[in-house]
A and B are shown apart, each in its own frame.
Chain A
Amino acid sequence: QKEVEQDPGPLSVPEGAIVSLNCTYSNSAFQYFMWYRQYSRKGPELLMYTYSSGNKEDGRFTAQVDKSSKYISLFIRDSQPSDSATYLCASGTGFQKLVFGTGTRLLVSP
């Protein structure tokens, strides 16, 4: 079993929909939870990160961590075609050795 599991998708939604992207992790020592966005043939870029449990909001994006169930979520409100990308979750005990999920490919159609 991988330490961080993520459904590869693709997840297809119409423009304006609320998107829910999810990961699970198995290592209870993980304290840092990151979401990256990766466009085709580009490197990942950090969207948000949270430390320990709780929610964090940034514009249309909300990151949520539930340590009791080891569940990580990213919500995208009012999704746009420009949000079409692969979303990677990552977790770790520190920033230096993050364990990444395989990524979920999101397609937002106009």
Chain B
Amino acid sequence: GAGVSQSPSNKVTEKGKDVELRCDPISGHTALYWYRQSLGQGLEFLIYFQGNSAPDKSGLPSDRFSAERTGGSVSTLTIQRTQQEDSAVYLCASSPRRAEETQYFGPGTRLLVL
């Protein structure tokens, strides 16, 4: 169908609460990425899933961040005990195995931690 979708589009939460961000990649895409985009910081790589391989979690900033991908499709990024510095746009992208250079991005989830 359409492109990468993410939900919610906006999320306001209180410091200390947990949040879950969802990503629906393009059907058939084997690779899925999560990024964080903060003002003045550019895109920051968080985690990468490729097929059934173990994910590359090297970009996760702390153990409060985790992500999973169920059935090789939908992915959820969870932030526990949110802090104000977690406020950012969280972007998901997917790419097909035969064209890994092209990452298709979703519109992002704007997270604001009060």
Contacts and interface: CB of A to CB of B under 8 A. Distances in A.
Interface stretch (B14-22, B38-46, B67-75, B77-85): B38-46
Contacts of B25: none
Interface string B88-114: 000101010000111111111000000
B95 A43 contact: no
A102 B101 CA distance: 20
Interface string A93-110: 001111111110000000
Interface string A41-74: 1111110010000000000000000000000000
B107 A102 contact: no
B41 A102 contact: yes
Which of B40, B100, B105 is packed against the most chain A CB atoms within 10 Å? B105
B50 interface: yes
B81 to A, nearest CB: 27
Interface string B47-63: 01010000010110000
Contact of B95 (A34, A44, A95): A95
B26 interface: no
Given A88-B42, A88-B43, A103-B42, A45 B50 contact: no
B42 A98 contact: no
Given A88-B42, A98-B45, A100-B42, A43 B56 contact: no
A44 B108 CA distance: 10
Contacts of A41: 107-108
Contacts of B106: 43
Contacts of A75: none
21 contacts: A8-B40, A32-B101, A34-B101, A41-B107, A42-B107, A43-B91, A43-B106, A44-B91, A88-B43, A90-B43, A95-B101, A96-B50, A97-B58, A97-B59, A98-B45, A100-B42, A100-B43, A101-B42, A102-B40, A102-B41, A102-B42
